[in-house]
Amino acid sequence: MRPSRVGRWRMLVLIAIHAAIAVHVAHWASTGSTLTPLEPSESIELSAKGVLNAGAIFFGLAILSTALFGRFFCGWACHLVAVQDGCRWLLEKVGLRPRPVNLGLLGLVPLVVFVYMFLAPLLPRIEQGRGLGIAHTELTTAGFWDTFPGLEMALLTLLVAGVGMVWFLGAKGFCTYACPYGAVFGIADQLAPVRIRATNACEGCGHCTAVCTSNVRVHQEVRDWKAIVDPGCMKCLDCVSVCPKDALYVGFGVPAITARSARPGKRLAAGLVERLPSLALTSAFLWSAFAVLLARQGTLEGRWATELAALSLVLALVFSGKSERRGGPTLAEDVLLAVAFLTAVFALRNYQLLPWREEGVPLLLALALAVLFALVAHLCVRMLRRSDIALAAWDLVRARRVTSAGRAFALVALAFIAVVGLAARAQVSDVRAERSKREQREERERERAAARSEYERGVRAAQAGQLEDAAVAFEAALARDSEFREARENLAGMYCALGRFELGISHYREALARHPEDADTHALLGQACAQHNDFAAAEAAWQAAIAIEPAHRGAREGLAILCEERGDAAGARAHRAAAHR
């Protein structure tokens, strides 16, 4: 094969992109404020709060360009693609050639995460009637690094998404099984009129497929469609460059979604009846994935899992692409992969993986680890059931005998499973604690509602002059909510009105023990004590009331009457003057 002439140019473009990122960070570090990060994840602010930032504008322009020209952004401008390409180059230098792996249902993970990150936050806004318009614009920020993980998590993400996923899942492993942005770019690519196409000079030599790092079977695509219709194609253009017949080119034509096969006699899709088991499993996986992701979100609720799963299923059916996949897992293996993946996502997301850091595992790292965990679980089961199993360049089982590489893999797998198990146990404990708190809160709300109902019944009875019934109702309200201050004060008033001054006074004092700064309650206590002929206690209560609220009219009037009883006319005039003021 002749070498690709565009690889060096793409590398230079990616280096220039990273140099621009470094300049952006340096500008923030030197000035304290800069343009908001040009990162697609910043668009979450637009979805959740209606805040338009530079990242949302950048993401929108990238999607629009993809809908016109295909996934050039992914191949030529994405920093994670650069990381994966660099890791692939390093692995090949040491003799390890990454090969793509078909993990079946897990290919839907990017779509699920895209819908969860960017579409699900719209639901609370719709439900609350806030609308979907732009609330305000924030194009600059002083907290440039606020939405990014810490250094340790960033390095771990690069290691897992780069080395780990490339080594074991192929050159674009992260893009295929975890990248939420790749999902929408793949959808937009299906609408693009510009794509890699083939002339009749193509002889099917396979050079194009051999150099493709997007895991696309290029020779098969151009044979069946005279163009590359796989939404995973990132337009790196290596295939165009190495074609010995110069049969591949970038050109306009019908989009992939409306393309017709160059081999119309070939049956490229199974019938509906044959696909029913797969559709049922896909639907169950989508719903379960959203249920796991929504389970512990304060602003999103699990009841939306069905709607989001239905939307994702429609998008998957319409925009899944027409490329033919081979070597996929069986239905049973799909179930195993899905269960293992969902278990790991639940366990690892926001889990404090590093003991010396309070930071939890961010979403994209949790997804990458969960995909690798699903692969590990799948291989462990296959090791127990099949004769020959290999991982990358290593034979794990040969002729029903576990190799030394297989034993090493088993030890690593056990450690991985142990970590996920411990994380899952901690998460289950947290979920139970949160559920208990929620149930207690809901029970308190029910009790408060019942107490309010009893209180209102007591108020109506008091207004009708039915003081005994009112006292019973206020007692019932207090029995349901002992912190219900109005119910306690009204109960005290009813007891005093019925001549049960000891009970009334005790409730006033209980109310003050809970709310000592309430001047009105002090004044009412003074009135009750005066009616009970305990004038010393009444004076103390009224003095406490005016100490809190000097202009309290009821307390001043009570003290004025006491002064008159003692013959202190000047004191009575002073209190009445203060009450009048």
Helices (H), 32-121: 44-49, 54-69, 72-77, 79-93, 109-114
Contacts of 306 (CB under 8 A, 6+ apart): 287
What are 248's strand-pairing partners?
Answer: 198
Q: Do strands 136-137 and 51-52 pair parallel, antiparallel, or not at all (unpaired)?
A: parallel
What are 196's strand-pairing partners?
Answer: 250
Place of tokens 């005998």: 401
- What is the pLDDT at residue 385? 82
Q: What angle, rounded to 10 degrees, do the helices at 553-566 and 569-580 form?
A: 170
pTM value surpassing 0.85? no
What CA–CA distance (Å, rounded) separates 436 from 382?
Answer: 40
What are 275's strand-pairing partners?
Answer: none
What CA–CA distance (Å, rounded) separates 80 from 171?
Answer: 12
Segment (H or E) for 250: strand 248-252
DSSP letter string, 46-71: HHHH-EE-HHHHHHHHHHHHHHHH-T
Q: Is 353 helix (H, G, I), strand (E, B) or coil?
A: coil
Segment (H or E) for 394: strand 394-398
- What is the pLDDT at residue 261? 84
What CA–CA distance (Å, rounded) separates 69 from 212?
Answer: 19
Contact 362, 156 (CB under 8 A): no
Q: Is 507 helix (H, G, I), strand (E, B) or coil?
A: helix
Task: Give how far Cα 93 sits from Cα of 88, 213, 234, 492, Å.
Answer: 9, 16, 23, 86
Question: Which of 162, 182, 173 has its CA nearest to residue 74?
Answer: 182
At residue 52, φ and ψ (nearest 5 deg) are: -90, 120
Contact 234, 81 (CB under 8 A): yes
Place of tokens 């499973």: 417
Torsion of CA 364, 370, 373, 378, to 10 degrees: -130
User: How far out from the chain centre does Cα 33 lie?
Assistant: 27
Helix and strand counts by DSSP (H, E) for the chain: 26, 9
Phi-psi region of 159 (alpha: psi -120 to 50; beta: other; left: phi over 0): alpha
Segment (H or E) for 197: strand 194-198
Question: Which of 511, 473, 465, 520 has its CA nearest to residue 492?
Answer: 511
Contact 391, 168 (CB under 8 A): yes
> Can you read off the two tokens belonging to residue 543?
């003095």
What CA–CA distance (Å, rounded) separates 161 from 178?
Answer: 9
> Can you read off the two tokens belonging to residue 160?
């897992």
User: How far out from the chain centre does Cα 471 lie?
Assistant: 50
Contacts of 93 (CB under 8 A, 6+ apart): none
At residue 389, φ and ψ (nearest 5 deg) are: -130, 135
At residue 557, φ and ψ (nearest 5 deg) are: -65, -40
> Can you read off the two tokens belonging to residue 111?
């779509």
> Can you read off the two tokens belonging to residue 152?
């340790």
Segment (H or E) for 532: none
> Can you read off the two tokens belonging to residue 89?
């180059």
- Domain boundaries 499-581, corresponding CATH code: 1.25.40.10
Q: Is 402 helix (H, G, I), strand (E, B) or coil?
A: strand
What CA–CA distance (Å, rounded) separates 19 from 392?
Answer: 33
- What is the pLDDT at residue 26? 95
The domain limits of the chain are: 7-131+148-262+275-385, 499-581
For 265, which DSSP code?
Answer: T
What CA–CA distance (Å, rounded) separates 236 from 7?
Answer: 8
Instruction: Count CB atoms within 10 A of the CB of residue 119.
Output: 16
- State the Rg of the chain over Cα: 35
Segment (H or E) for 35: strand 34-35
Q: Is 224 helix (H, G, I), strand (E, B) or coil?
A: helix
What CA–CA distance (Å, rounded) separates 515 from 519?
Answer: 10
| Per-residue pLDDT in tens (0 to 9) along the chain, 581 residues | 888 889 889 999 999 999 999 999 999 999 999 999 999 999 999 999 999 999 999 999 999 999 999 999 999 999 999 999 999 999 989 888 888 899 999 999 999 999 999 999 999 998 888 888 898 999 999 999 888 888 889 899 999 999 999 999 999 999 999 999 999 999 999 999 999 999 999 998 999 999 998 889 999 999 999 999 999 999 999 999 999 999 999 999 999 999 888 776 555 555 555 678 888 999 999 999 999 999 877 667 778 999 999 999 999 989 887 777 777 888 899 999 999 999 999 999 999 888 888 888 999 999 999 999 999 999 999 998 877 888 888 889 988 889 999 999 999 999 999 999 999 999 999 888 988 998 999 999 999 999 999 999 999 999 999 999 999 999 999 999 988 989 999 999 999 999 999 999 999 999 999 889 999 999 999 999 999 999 999 999 999 999 999 888 889 899 999 998 888 888 888 888 887 77
